[in-house]
Amino acid sequence: MTEDHHQTTDEHRTIFVVLTAALALVSALTAPPEMGLQLLIAVPLIALLGVPHGALDFVLADAILGVRAPLWRRLIVLGGYTSLALGVVTLWWLSPVVALSAFLALSVYHFGSDDIVGATLHPAVRAAETVGRGLVVIAFPSAFHAEQVVDIFALLVQPEPARMLTAVCAGLAPLATLALAVSSARHLAVAGFRRRRRDLMAGLELLALGLLFALLPPLLSFTVYFCALHSLRHLVHKGRVLHRCGLPFRHQLIAATLGTLVTVFLGALAYVVLGGAVGEVRAVVQVVFVGLAAVTLPHMVLVARFEARFAKAA
């Protein structure tokens, strides 16, 4: 990884840490907003700042296939991507509990592995950081805001499974805490001994993650994390690699914009179809969760293939 990339990552981490500290202070001084207001804040931010990183998937596919790949190969990738997404939606329709459980497990793996930038000194430390980053997203909201998480899950599954899944996630909080503590301590220790700013910011970022999910309401903490950390880091990191592979930033911007517009249109269409049948709040939550779940699996497959193909370029 280049020094310029390290500097960009450090600046991003600084912004995220400062943003989290400010939001935590506001959260501590004010009452949590109603779910309707949280959705009003979360949905536009996810659509405008979170969705574009997934909309970049077909640019990743271009890089994997090669810019001169024949049309039939591109159609196969598109068909496979769409089939996986439709398969996830079908699973939600057939068995929401299984689908939600699988989505939570996939999210832990994806967020844990995708947000680490740079190699750690020891594989065990990297494993701890992966576990901490992944588990904190589902464990801390369930442990610190159990009633709100149950209310959200109950819009996706029946109340009893919602309580059960929340309890399972909350039970993972001690492991998430230990993993975050170990990995952040390692970064801060290295920062102290070697005076490396990137380790200092990495350690503070991990602490900020715990603070974010412990203090902010679940919908808002996920929105801040998804938009300000996960999505932005993906766009910056993958964008640099794609640029080195001959896919200019302008091409990436056009593809991400078009993909975002299509995704938002499909989400709005699903909301219109569901709104009259299940109610507005339930429809919004279902569109957001099922929509994210539908693209998470094919997104993970493409990202893994991309990382394997361009590991050295990263």
Report pLDDT for 196.
77
Give CA–CA dist 156/38, Å, rounded: 17
Minimum mean pLDDT range among 24-28, 113-117, 166-170, 258-262: 113-117
How confident is residue 311, by pLDDT bands cut at 50, 70 and 90?
low
* pLDDT tens digits along 19-28: 999 999 998 8
Residue 113: per-residue pLDDT:
87
First to last CA, the chain: 6
Q: 106: which 2 tokens?
A: 């996939």
Q: What CA–CA distance (Å, rounded) separates 287 from 274? A: 9
Q: Could you tell me the residue ranges of all domains in the chain? A: 3-309
Which tokens belong to 265? 């249109």
CA dist 234 to 53, 150, 158, 279, Å?
6, 30, 34, 34
With H, G, I as helix, E, B as strand and everything else as coil, classify residue 216.
Answer: coil
Across 113-136, b (16+ Cβ under 10 Å) vs e yields: bbbebeebeeeebbebbbbbbbbb
Least confident of 165-179, 213-227, 278-292: 278-292
Which pLDDT tens digit goes with each residue over 246-265?
A: 778 888 888 888 888 988 89
Task: At 266, list the tokens.
Answer: 């499909």
The C-alpha atoms of residue 183 and residue 221 are separated, in whole angstroms, by 21
CA angle 52, 145, 215 (to 5 degrees): 70
Contact present, 191 and 200 (Cβ < 8 Å): yes
Per-position b or e across 76-107, b if 16+ CB within 10 A of its CB? ebeeebeebbeebeebbeeebbebbbbbbebb
Residue 271 identity (one-letter amino acid): Y
